[in-house]
């Protein structure tokens, strides 16, 4: 009898404990989400002629395009957003709810569409074709050379050269010491320049992409892949965000937009006022340079396919602020991030003053 009562009491308690989440009023007011595209084919510009799979015929979708695996990665990311933000976003899509931008790359546009497919399956008034659980969602993009928001770099090579002009010879000798041997092997086998670290990083991507596609890498690559080329790829991210000038260039414009849009909401000037979400479909360079510029996370690998950086805008007891999350679909649940000098919930005025030095003026 006593056990039965205990069981009933426990059941009641667990019900009560389970409930508050529903009753508690959500403090979420706006979302800014940035993500990397899905798994892709190699880029033609990052291919060397002696590579066993250098022929375009190995890549049915074309150079640099999303693969079927990549489509699933992005679709699942959309489903993750839907699950996490279902109540906040509501059932039906409306043009005013979502501001959705990609840069002018096929793979970021397709990835964005796939995320939207997972995020906004038609419900209620949006159902238009009972045989198809999908609805079209519009997006915007501008030419790459006019896109400081999502394409601050012309290429990794350009950005790396740009970075070096701002950095001491110390970093170059640091790279030479750490990767000189690997670059020599790379140069002997691919014909690239042995001092071109940006190419080293790009060729690391190509090997990773080919491995992801299930291709057997040429045997010489075991000398450099995954290490030390993986560490080189990580170091390139650190070089590209090594000081405030570089952070301003790599992440500043998008960060400034996030802050500006957040203040517009707070001041009641956001247009349209019912906006719930800003969506940015871009690259590993965007995601990685964002968290490195904010000094919010230690990079141990370049941001994987479908990884995402989320700025949640909350209003908690009258205080407006941001909560930051990094989502890596390979690792499951979102990872809460903090920037130096602030807490997990960072009041917007504090956040602004902490990152002010990396915001561009115009
Ligand atoms: C690439 O493969 C196609 C189809 O197998 C073939 O016709 C073509 O000659 C190949 N190109 C090179 C450069 O090997
Ligand atoms: C600058 O780059 C070097 C080389 O990758 C790295 O060791 C260092 O931590 C970076 N510094 C900052 C502040 O990012």
Question: Which of 166, 176, 235 has most ligand 2 atoms within 8 Å of its beta carbon, as the pocket-test mutant?
Answer: 235
- 235-293 residue pLDDT tens: 999 999 998 988 999 999 999 999 999 999 999 999 999 999 999 999 999 999 999 99
pLDDT band with cut points at 50, 70 and 90 for residue 129:
very high
* Rounded distance from Cα 63 to ligand 1 centre (Å): 15
What tokens does 269 get?
């000037």
Please choose, from the candidates 40, 247, 79, the residue with its C-alpha nearest in 3D space to the C-alpha of residue 152: 247
Ligand closest in space to the Cα of 59: 1
Segment 315-334 mean pLDDT: 91
> What distance in angstroms lies between residue 60's CA and the mean position of ligand 2's atoms?
39
Residue 3, ligand 1, Cβ within 6 A: no
The residue contributing the CA closest to ligand 1 atom 10 is 55
- Please state the rounded mean pLDDT for residues 127-144: 97
CB 156 within 8 A of CB 162: no
Pairing label, strands 345-347, 98-102: unpaired
pLDDT digits (tens, 9 = 90+) for 340-362: 999 999 999 999 999 999 999 87
The response to whether residue 57 sits with its C-beta less than 6 Å from ligand 1 reads yes
Q: What radius of gyration, in Å, describes the C-alpha atoms of the chain? A: 23
Q: What pLDDT does residue 275 have? A: 98
User: Which ligand is located closest to the Cα atom of residue 54?
Assistant: 1
Please report where in the chains the tokens 């989400």 appear, as a residue: 33
CA of 293 to the centre of ligand 2 (A): 11
Task: Say if CB 55 and CB 48 are below 8 A apart.
Answer: no
Which conformational region is residue 214 in: left (phi greater than 0), alpha (psi within -120 to 50 degrees), or beta?
A: left
Pairing state between β 28-36 and 277-282: parallel
Q: How far is the CA of 55 from the centre of ligand 1 (A)?
A: 6
Mean pLDDT value of segment 231-236: 96
CA distance 272 to 12: 44
DSSP letter (8 states) at residue 42: P
Kindly state if the Cβ of 55 falls inside 6 Å of ligand 1: yes
Taking CA atoms only, the protein residue closest to ligand 2 atom 11 is 242
Ligand 2 pocket by Cβ (under 6 Å): 171, 174, 235, 238-239, 241-242
Q: For the segment 107-125, what is each residue's pLDDT rounded down to a tens digit?
A: 999 999 999 999 999 999 9
Residue 52: nearest ligand to its CA?
1
Phi, psi for 301 (deg, rounded to 5): -155, 155
Q: Considering only CA atoms, which of 119, 135, 134 is closest in space to residue 86?
A: 119
pLDDT at 163: 73
- Where do the DSSP E strands lie in the chain? 28-36, 98-102, 277-282, 308-316, 319-327, 335-337, 345-347
> Which of these ranges, 85-94, 159-168, 293-302, has the smallest mean pLDDT?
159-168
Count other C-beta atoms under 10 Å from residue 223's C-beta.
14
- Please state which of the ranges 14-28, 44-58, 215-229, 236-250 shows the lowest mean pLDDT: 14-28
Residue 345's beta-bridge partner residues? Answer: 323
pTM over 0.95: no
């Amino acid at each position: 009898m006593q056990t039965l009562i205990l069981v009933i009491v426990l059941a009641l308690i667990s019900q009560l404990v389970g409930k508050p989440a529903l009753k508690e009023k959500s403090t979420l007011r706006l979302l800014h989400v940035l993500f990397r595209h899905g798994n892709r084919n190699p880029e033609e510009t990052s291919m060397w002629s002696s590579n066993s799979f250098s022929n375009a015929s190995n890549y049915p979708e074309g150079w640099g395009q999303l693969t079927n695996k990549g489509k699933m990665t992005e679709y699942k990311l959309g489903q993750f957003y839907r699950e996490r933000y279902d109540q906040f976003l509501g059932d039906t899509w409306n043009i005013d709810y979502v501001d959705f931008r990609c840069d002018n790359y096929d793979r970021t546009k397709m990835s964005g569409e796939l995320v939207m497919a997972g995020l906004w399956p038609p419900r209620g008034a949006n159902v238009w074709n009972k045989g198809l659980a999908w609805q079209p969602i519009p997006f915007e993009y501008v030419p790459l050379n006019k896109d400081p928001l999502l394409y601050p770099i012309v290429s990794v090579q350009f950005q790396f050269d740009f970075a070096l002009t701002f950095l001491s010879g110390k970093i170059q000798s640091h790279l030479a010491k750490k990767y000189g041997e690997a670059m020599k092997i790379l140069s002997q086998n691919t014909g690239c320049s042995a001092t071109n670290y940006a190419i080293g990083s790009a060729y690391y991507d190509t090997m990773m992409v080919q491995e992801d596609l299930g291709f057997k890498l040429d045997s010489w690559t075991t000398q450099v892949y995954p290490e030390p080329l993986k560490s080189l790829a990580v170091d390139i991210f650190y070089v590209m965000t090594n000081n405030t000038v570089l952070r301003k260039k790599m992440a500043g414009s998008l960060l400034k937009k996030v802050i500006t849009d957040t203040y517009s909401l707070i001041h009641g000037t956001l247009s349209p006022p019912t906006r719930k979400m800003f969506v940015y479909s871009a690259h590993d360079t965007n995601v990685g340079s964002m968290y490195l510029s904010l000094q919010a996370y230690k990079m141990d690998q370049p941001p994987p396919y479908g990884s995402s950086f989320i700025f949640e805008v909350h209003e908690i007891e009258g205080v407006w602020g941001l909560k930051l999350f990094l989502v890596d679909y390979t690792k499951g649940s979102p990872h809460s991030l903090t920037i130096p000098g602030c807490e997990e919930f960072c009041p917007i005025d504090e956040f602004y003053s902490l990152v002010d030095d990396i915001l561009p003026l115009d």
